[in-house]
Structure formats: structure tokens, C-alpha cells
Amino acid sequence: MKALILSGGKGTRLRPLTYTGAKQLVPVANKPILWYGIEGIVAAGVTDIGIIISPETGEEVKTKTGNGELFGAKITYILQEQPAGLAHAVKVAQPFLGDSPFIMYLGDNLIQSDLNLFLERFKSQQTDALILLRQVSNPSAFGVAEVDGNGRVLHLVEKPKVPPSNLALVGIYFFAKTIHDAIASIQPSARGELEITDAIQCLIDRQKKVEACQLEGWWLDTGKKDDLLEANRIILDTTCLTKSIEGEVDTQSQVIGRVQIGQGTKLVNCTVRGPAIIGRDCYLEDCFIGPYSSIGNNVTLIDVEVDHSVILQSAKVVGIHQRIVDSVIGQRAQLTVTPQRPKALRFMIGDDSQIELT
């Protein structure tokens, strides 16, 4: 069994953050989104992993993620020159996949459920494809499945104007080698891509065994700012379970609840309420850090209130007297403000930005 993780694409819905980096490397609770998928796949017993990368962000993915040793896996990087569709990514990866069955995992997805539950069903039922589904309120934004009462997939369509159901395809699939012949027989869609939904429909039309499982736990597609913040909230709730202080906290500071503070970080006259995480080598002075906030490594915060926000590595925020809420602040971004106070602040700020409020 192998795994194929897709970590290409342009990440247009997360711009400006993704002008300078891969969307799959944006951190949730100070860990790249991509890494959660790798860890879930390895936990299911699959350690031979291929990662699809793009020319724009591939080197960054390789540098940060490495050869797999960090995860107890072997990682092979596969370049997809153009974002020509999910099925095209499988086609590009065919030399790596060979005849092995495989998990296909979209690298910006997070799920609560254990992958091993679905993997065991895929193996025991000897299906050609097993897809994961979740009920959604806006099925027109997704690939959508029509399923019979036994879990057998009858029909798939990509982003339909009139959806046949409210069952969206989660970005995780299990395939036998028969998917390669199906992909070889399809044509690009109207948007010029080889759609994985068309390839799976081809399997259905050929009377192959295609089944579905519905997710019971949460599923997060972290492609937009609000989705990223929701993912950060849920991950902090489920993983930040104890107080852990490795840095320096002065006697004027309060650390309340489930808070993790990394090595080399210094807090001076600050209040932190969990769940929250503060990375390594940060400096915080006269700050309030509210629940569901993630502060990356090497961040400087002075005279700032932050709540339900993500601040990425090496950002610097000084003198913002109104509370920053529901915000994502990119790597190395700098925010400063004069003593005059604006009425409200709401940010999504890309890497290397510099903003001064006057």
C-alpha cells in the first residue's frame, strides 16, 4: 500500500499568504497542515508516500518536510508541472505508484476520523475505489456523489449547478490499480482539467466496485481564511490538552488553562488564556493572548491583544491597542500603530507585508 499526497496548486483562496508559500505549509496550531495528513497516513500503517509538488512551491515543501524521517516514512517528491487536475496528478505519479493500491490525500484537508477505519474496509471489501463523503450545505462547491442504500456509488459530478445530493467528496480516496486505466480513458473537463470524479465515474460505468463511507467526525478544507481559523480552533481544542511552559514567564504574567509556550520565549507582564500555543524564541510584553490563538516561532508582540487568530513565524506587532480578532498574519509581517486609535481592526496579511496604521 502506498499513499499520494497532493501538495501542488496555487492556493488562490488563501492569498496573499500563498503568493510566497505553499498553502499546505500554512500552520495550524504551529504545525504545517500537510504534516497532519502525513501523520494520519503513517498512523494507518502506510509509510511509502509520494508528494505531488508544483514548480512554484515544491522546493519549500521539500525543504520543510524532508525525506520522511521525521514521520517514520519514506517520501518521494513528484513534480506536476501544471495544475491540470487531480486525475492528472495521479497520472504523473503512476511511475511511483506502479500497480500498488494507494490512498490519495489532498494536502490541505484535515479530518478527525482514523484513516485506518477506511483502509481496512477498502482492503476487506476489495473495492476498486472507496471514497469518503460528508453532508454539506453548499454541495455545488464540491464534487458530489449519489449513493444507494448499501453505500454503492451510483453517480459523481464535479461542482454541479443542480446537485443530485448534499454528499460532498472529501479530499481522501482509496484506489486499486484499475484507476490508472480509467484515467487514461477520460478527457479534460470544460475547465481544462482531468477530473478525478470523471475517472471514478468511468469505474462505475465499467461496473467496477466503487463504494463510499460517510465521515462522522469533523472535516476541514483549509483553503480559506475562516476555514484555517476554524481548523486552528478545533486542533487546539483536541491537541492542546495540558499546560506546558518551556520558556520564561515573569511574575507579572498569568498563564491560564491549556497553554503551550516554547523554549526561548519570554513573557513580560502578559496574560495568556488557553487553549493557545506560543512557539519558540518569541518575545511578548504587555500583551493579552486569548483562546484559540497560535503564535509562531520568533514572533514579537508588544502592547497587543490577540484573540482567535494565527500569527506566523517572525511577525512583529507593536502598539495595536484594539484587540486583533479572527485574523491571520503572515510570516515576517510588521504591524505598528500611532497613538491615535482606529475604531476596529480585522486583518489577513501576507508574508513580508509591512503595515502602519496612523
- The DSSP code for 352 is T
Half-sphere exposure of 97 (CA within 13 A, CB side): 24
Residue 358 pLDDT class (50, 70, 90 cuts) = low
User: Which tens digits make up the pLDDT trace of 143-164?
Assistant: 888 888 777 888 888 888 888 8
User: Which tens digits make up the pLDDT trace of 297-342?
Assistant: 999 999 999 999 999 999 999 988 889 999 888 888 888 876 665 5
- Residue 12 has a pLDDT of 47
Residue 15 pLDDT class (50, 70, 90 cuts) = very low
Least confident of 79-88, 156-165, 171-180: 156-165
- The DSSP code for 327 is -
Residue 260 phi, psi (nearest 5): -115, 130
Sequence-distant (≥ 6) Cβ neighbours of residue 69 within 8 angstroms = none
Can you tell me the mean pLDDT for 342-352? 67
Measuring CA to CA, how many Å separate 16 from each of 42, 109, 227, 328? Answer: 32, 20, 15, 10
Strand pairing partners for 334? 316, 354
Distance CA 322, CA 74 (A): 47
Can you tell me the mean pLDDT for 243-264? 96
Distance CA 119, CA 97 (A): 17
Can you tell me the mean pLDDT for 102-124? 91
Please tell me which residue, 346 or 42, carries the higher pLDDT value: 42
List of domains in the chain: 2-236 (3.90.550.10), 243-357 (2.160.10.10)
- CB-based contact 330:351 (threshold 8 Å): yes
Query: Which spans in the chain are helix H?
Result: 33-43, 58-65, 86-92, 94-97, 115-125, 178-185, 196-205, 225-239
Closest CA to 185 of 176, 170, 195: 195
